[in-house]
Structure 1
Amino acid sequence: MSAAYLSEAETYYLRRLTSKRQRRPEHAADCPFFREQAPQRFREKRSAEAPVIDVPDGLFIAHRLAPEKLAEAPSDSEPDDRSRGVTIPRLARLLWQLMDMAQVNEVHPLPARRGRNMTMASEFARLRHAATRLEIAPGIPLSAHLYTHIDPFERKAVFARLRKAARTWPEGLAPQAFLALYANDISGTTLFLGQGKELHLKTRVQYSGSLIGPPYLVLVVVGEHNPRDGYAALRAFAQPLARTSAFIPVHNHHERKVACDLLDLQYHLRRRGIALGFKRPLFDLPSKIGTVRPDFVLDIHDSTTGEIIETALEVIASEDPEYLAAKRHQLSLLGKAGRVITARAATIDSHGTGAILKANLGIG
């Protein structure tokens, strides 16, 4: 392993040389390289309380400089995340931040006499526009090093621009670029893109939940793996989407079914004078009882009666006991925050989301 590779795991060589289990002595307490041993790592069981998901702090970065010396001390400003308490990769939260700022997770009500103007090209355009408001280094917008097509990477134009930018890159930060790509499939360290193209990474593709099939939106960080190998595609996070033309993030098959049903329902309801908009929250939302994160938030306006309905919609995608316990806790919180309806997997499959809205809200 190279020092650069180990730095991606935010660890250092001499920290590994000390070990209570192996009976190797610690650094002296006054040694500049002294640091308490990391706690034992373990896989946590599913908790009934949903993990907090906040917008990532600081710069839009997913790669750090490798220690120049084997025993280089970590920066005091860097968080100590060695306990692995945070199970959501930073790259995932960065992708969600970009999607949230681009508002691709929000669908507005249909115009009165027009269709929905959403295409893959328009969704990528929204991501690029949002990238102008994020920085990968002080004074360097993400948009300067964000690519939404594989061609610049294949031509090595991404590497060339990074090498040029590295000459004036702020000290202490690793030059890096990002690819936001549509993928048909992922397997191990390989992304399968359109037109039969593939992208190979240094590490396995990360994802949350289960692999539910394409389409995927994948965020790839490009940086220097080590000086010998130069720049490469280091890591990636794949987010399943509702449709190729709608970059609504979903985490399981039934969330995808609900999102697609809601998109189709917009046309059906418009003919009855009902406007439907919805959002798939990616981060915790403030409420009167604290922060909550429903699967969907629906905003419905009946122009005939003037009635306005705002409700959370929670998808029950599994009958696993631990999963159901977590959902019951979530539903209890959402019920205190406002109106909430549930959509169970069996009902979604047999009757569809439209029937669920009609039964619970009396619309449709």
Structure 2
Amino acid sequence: MTPATARLALLEGWLRQDAGNAALRLSAFEAARGAGRLDAAALHAEAGVADGAEAGAWLHRLAQVRLAQRDVPSARALLARARAAGAPAAVVNHDLAWIAHQAGQTDHCLDLLRPHLAGADDPPLEPTVLASLQVLWLRTLQQAGRHQAALEWTVGEEAAGRLQPAGQGVASVLAWDAGELDLAERLAQAALATDAAHADALLTLASLALLRRQDAPAEAFIDRALAARPAEGRTWSLAGMASLQRGDTGQARLRFQRAIGGMPGHIGTWHGLGWACLLAGDREAALRAFERALFLDPAFGESHGAVGLAQALGGDAEAAEASLRTALKLDPACVTARYARAVMAGEASADGVPALAGRLLDRPGFFRRSLAAEVQDRVAAPPVRPSGP
């Protein structure tokens, strides 16, 4: 029995002896949810609803359990009942917006959030609630590819003094993606000043450190991000980039493979794995990784170029030429394709592959392009927000 389940059993034992204890029921509900016992959490929430006291808060808690169980229709109905029973509109609308976000309903999501982000709620929103709304707003704009609108909103909220640390951390990633490196660093540092374990802020600073070839600081930020979120695929991907940048292809390969386990649709990680394999002399594994990246996005010239390079190094000139022709059609400046053409023409040696990888790593837009897309691929956990009247 784990400590979490042991605590739940203890609380439920006490609750059987004091069934009317509202504080004890809330503790048992939170313990059940924390232990992953969603059925038990639902039973405690249903008992809280039946009790009648704080019905809005208990209906909202039950809705969150249903979201965690992926029962969206039940969650929607419960959220409507929660709002009618007095649950705060901002809290209910956040969860309805999260449902819309997961369904790709960008405009509906933003419409639900917008009224609560202008400081018009009376009484004013608690910082934790406001932070949750801001994070969802930013992630929705990011998912929709509206980076400029997100950054303009961020700057405006920062000037108004409303931007919460959680929002600063998420916005730092958006600023990094947009090439606003000074803004990205400022936002990330501001987020960490309040929350030293903010994973988005740590990843932004790690990315900046890698760009500046500051290996030790980059690894330190990555280690802190992994301590905060040990299973976060994009952190492992960035860790792989750090290993690749310092020439440790074996470690890079392991880190990229671990990242892919959590986000198999992340193109940048497949590219990183391909380069780690190619630099280690495993051309076949490199070709498989590059082909996977190409399958995920056939319109990315560098993927065609990388496939062509691996084919050229393997002596398959006909297949390589077809891949490189497509790469240069999509991107006339494709570095990998031009290098592969030079190898095939005898104007460059395969010994230059490490230097080519270094050139690509010096171009932040190459790997960063795909790292940002991971946010769109990730299946977010259901929201857990403060509830109550």
- Give the TM-score normalised by the residue count of structure 1: 0.27
Determine which structure has the larger helix proportion and give its number. 2
Higher normalized strand content (fraction of residues): 1
Q: What TM-score results when the alignment is normalised by the length of structure 2?
A: 0.26
Higher relative contact order (CA 8 A, sep 6+): 1
